[in-house]
């Protein structure tokens, strides 16, 4: 049965590949981009493309209003930024704040705005519905932290905590919430040295999303379905 997915930041990289693979298998794709008119690669795969800036409360609220009558089976918060800041002497506090605005606060704004549409999808015990997926990274694991990338690591660690709390809050409603690590992928952010292609990463993540079980809500997983340490 076809399901409806909302993918944020879908105009390039992992978001675009999510849209491509979902469309190819017959699912309905709703997508967002900062500038929908310039998202030419995305247009063949998405039924609609709405403007969204996750750092702008008005923009997020407008998205919620535009999609208020929709049923969203799977919400994928995909957008993210990677400031450098590998040493404390390099710290740019405006960039640090921006990383939290995009990587942590932004997804929560989107969840709040679209929660009514996700609730309409049905209990999470039914395969493929009632799911909130926050794209994270193993670099947000405190247990695995090995230095550098202060802004990126800390903002993604915050996203992991927020996802854990969402899972606890929405558990009784049957909505499954997870933080998902896509692997190190050849994208503009990941670079050419990355071992995974977007096609491989997204295919793996979709298998994980499709197979999520209610008891996994609040989990931190990778694209193979393995549990990562907090």
Catalytic residues: 136, 152, 156
Burial class for 227, CB neighbours closer than 10 Å (0-12, 13-18, 19+): exposed
Q: What's the 3-state SS for 70-92? A: CCCCEEEECCCCCCCCCCHHHCC
* Distance between CA atoms of residues 189 and 15, nearest Å: 12
What is the C-alpha separation between 122 and 105, in angstroms, rounded? 26
Virtual torsion, Cα 103, 134, 170, 62, nearest 10 deg: 60
Distances in Å between the alpha carbon of 210 and those of 5, 23, 147, 207? 12, 15, 34, 5
Nearest 5°: the CA angle 187, 191, 192 is 100
């Amino acid at each position: 049965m076809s399901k409806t997915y909302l993918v944020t930041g879908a105009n390039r990289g992992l978001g675009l590949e999510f849209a491509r693979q979902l469309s190819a298998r017959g699912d309905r794709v709703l997508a967002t981009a900062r500038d929908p008119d310039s998202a030419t690669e995305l247009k063949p795969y998405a039924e609609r493309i709405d403007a969204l800036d996750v750092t702008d409360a008005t923009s997020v609220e407008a998205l919620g209003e535009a999609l208020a009558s929709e049923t969203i089976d799977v919400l994928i918060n995909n957008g993210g930024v990677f400031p450098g800041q590998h040493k404390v002497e390099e710290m740019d506090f405006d960039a640090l704040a921006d990383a939290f605005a995009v990587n942590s606060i932004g997804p929560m704004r989107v969840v709040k705005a679209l929660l009514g549409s996700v609730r309409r999808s049905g209990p999470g015990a039914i395969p493929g519905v009632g799911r909130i997926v926050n794209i994270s990274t193993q670099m947000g694991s405190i247990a695995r932290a090995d230095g550098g990338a202060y802004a990126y690591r800390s903002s993604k660690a915050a996203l992991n905590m927020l996802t854990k709390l969402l899972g606890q809050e929405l558990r009784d409603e049957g909505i499954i919430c997870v933080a998902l690590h896509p692997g190190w992928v050849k994208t503009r952010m990941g670079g050419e040295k990355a071992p995974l292609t977007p096609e491989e990463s997204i295919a793996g993540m979709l298998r994980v999303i499709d197979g999520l079980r209610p008891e996994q809500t609040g989990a931190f997983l990778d694209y193979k379905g393995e549990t990562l340490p907090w």
